[in-house]
Amino acid sequence: MPVTQGLLFANIALFVLDAGGMARLDALALWPPGGFESRFEPWQLLTYAFLHGGLAHIFFNMFGLYMFGSEIERLFGSRFYAAYYFGCVVSAALCHLAVNAFMGGPAAPMVGASGGVYGLLLAFGVYFPHRRVLLLFPPIPLPARVFVAAFAALELFFGVTGTAAGVAHFAHLGGMLGGWLMILYRRHV
């Protein structure tokens, strides 16, 4: 599928450029607005999703994009799929910034495609609720709707309790929220 392949290529290319020191990409990360020397720029609401903080981070995000993105792109068509994915990315960014400001979080940048991937995961659970998804650890097959609900519940729990610090749990939930809103829009157009 062309959009999914393009997203995979762009993410991997930027990861290689960044990890190899061939380009300084920190201006593309999502920095919180405000403060004395704010580094926030509007384009960061999209560009942060093409950067990753390590090999495991990009591997799992690209695995999720590959696993769920192709199926959703076939279902939605490339044009709406691209709008859906980037809508999830922006809603994840906005949710992260809002919760971070409300909770007085650190003025650290956020990177990663997780918000978009969680939006794809939500769409997969909505449109293919009975399809089996195999967990990696432990390898238990679950219906997609249960898999998605479990991931959402875990993200909410981790976000509220502050477990797994350094992970933008509310960005993941924001991606799902944006996906839900886009699905509602699609159903009423």
CA 167/CA 159 separation, integer angstroms: 9
| Lowest-confidence pick of 20-24, 85-89, 148-152, 161-165 | 20-24
CA 188/CA 128 separation, integer angstroms: 19
Q: What is the pLDDT of residues 43-96, one digit of tens each?
A: 999 999 999 999 999 999 999 999 999 999 999 999 999 999 999 999 999 999
Q: What is the pLDDT of residue 118?
A: 98
CA 3/CA 77 separation, integer angstroms: 10
CA 34/CA 97 separation, integer angstroms: 11
Tokens linked to 117: 């991937």
Q: What is the pLDDT of residue 106?
A: 72
CA 154/CA 189 separation, integer angstroms: 32
Tokens linked to 116: 């978009």
CA 135/CA 133 separation, integer angstroms: 6
Range of the domain at 133: 2-187
Q: What is the pLDDT of residue 43?
A: 94
Distances in Å between the alpha carbon of 30 and those of 19, 83, 107, 137, 189? 18, 20, 10, 30, 32
CA 175/CA 118 separation, integer angstroms: 6
CATH number at residue 44: 1.20.1540.10
Q: How many domains does the chain have?
A: 1
Whether the CB-CB separation of 115 and 93 falls below 8 Å is answered with: yes
